[in-house]
Structure 1
Amino acid sequence: TRGKTANTRQLNFIVRDDGIGIQEKDQARIFESFEKAKFNEDDSTKGTGLGLSIVKHSLAQMNSKIALQSTFGKGSSFRFTLELEMVPGTAPAEVATTKAFPAPIAQDATIHNATAPVLIVDDNPINRTVLREMVSRLGYTPVCVTLGLEAVATAQDTYYSLILMDVNMPGMDGHEATREIRSGQGISANTTILGVTALISRDYNQKSESGMNAMLAKPLTASRLTAAIKEHVDAETHQSADHEDITDLMDPVTARELKLQSLTDARTALRILSDPTSTWTARLDAAHYAVGSTGIVGFIKLSQMLSEAEAAAKQQDQSALDNSVATLQETLAE
């Protein structure tokens, strides 16, 4: 619809969720940081409790608010309105028909479409949020999925100019997902895939056995991502400043919340690492998860400590793990 001026248009968004719905007493609380609605004591739903808080703050930056209507047991709907300036020379009729994604490109295409989306595959929500901001700053449309199976499914039907693939994920890991994408006949079978992992200390620019074009070390920075894209995707039309701090990538409120959540991840990992009843697999998974989220928000020293703990857990070296736990306890107590 028409906006408040001749050069603006109002876009009305409605997101409907046909899930369990949200009880009235929880409807205000879930927009606060680190909050989730919990329906019973056995509720094992994962999540940081940051999603709606980030949405709320992001919309506030654009002078908008989000409204919620929900009936417990029937579902929810979220509504918000954005007033945006039209691109100079754009006819009003074109606003409603602007395409978010390009038409599918043939599998053997060698020219990368600069407007094609970038697929981000990572099971850590903090990693996904920061990588999404990096990718947006490079001029691409980011699309995020959580698991390797999801990456394989969407790569089958959608063309991506680049896939950023986390290597260590539950279920189907990054290498297995890459093999599946490469071996199939999907639209993105030949797309550049860059592995992202904390298991290496520096970027590795050679092709992996699984079909990744290169491997990038965590924590990934915008400058190194830019260099990798220039080398492997030939995105010559994109320009990017070197954003090493997430406060340069997003609003300060969101950046602060991500940093706080990463510290929560680190403390959770410490609790599991120091618990003698925890399995080695649980210790390894907890340390790996925290390595990614602390590193990508800028807590490099803490991320390195967690990486040492991860290595000790992988080797099942109790002595080395005890040393790492002692160092982490001292650091997180500061």
Structure 2
Amino acid sequence: MTISHLCNNAIKFTEQGSVTLKIDLLDDREADISVEISVSDTGPGMAQNDIERLAKPFVQLDDSLSRKGTGTGLGLSIASSLIEKMGGRLHIESTLGEGSRFSFRISLPKERIPVHHHQTPNINEPEGTASELNNFEQRAKVIVAEDNPINRMVIDKLLQKLPIDHLIVENGQELVNEVERQSYDLIITDIQMPVMDGFEAAALIRTKGSMDRVPIIALTAAAFEDDIKRMRQAGMDDYVAKPIDQDKLNSVLELHLTRAIRGESVSNQLGES
């Protein structure tokens, strides 16, 4: 969550250039490790007096720094508070007109760090999906609704690996508007979004005769029984958990997209009501 706050803030104020997330291992001890996490951007930067003001809780800078007129500071105050609770401190380096760097150092107990055993990637499944989709006379059309800019970049990169055409919108209302304008072979939607969430958008789409059979896949960080029940009630067919795994995304697309384009029915993967 802390890293997300810093990345979202950097992306928000960087109209041109780049945003870089970097994690450096500082020390590897028997019981824990120390890391430095930094987010750098090529945004408008800040003057020294603004940096000092940001150190105070819930201070916002001049709205003129934001291209959306929402100011800055609240997200950084939240991130700073979370970092302090983890035993670290947020450091801000910035040059007006050149960009900023936000960093912090923390120690992590090794018993709380998940161990991932290295395995050779299974390339057959992704290649099989791409091969299957390549067999269609026309490229499949997929629309995605996701409000988080980092998640949009991630899913855009993942979908670019497949032989499909895709469009990404920022909330449920834009999703509904777009599917009213033209047809799609499959819909992927985040659950929690501003303006209109994924549940409401899916339910509205299901009321439209031309879209009542199009597969709707949820993107969610939570997949508890109540969440799955709400997905099913909204007319969704399946879900992909966040953070998004390429193989999982491929398998879900292979299951629903290939059958949808062929006109075959596929049972709802969310279970019975």
TM range (shorter): 0.3 to 0.5
**Structure (1 or 2) with the greater strand fraction:** 2
TM-score normalised by the chain length of structure 1: 0.38
TM-score normalised by the chain length of structure 2: 0.45
Higher relative contact order (CA 8 A, sep 6+): 2
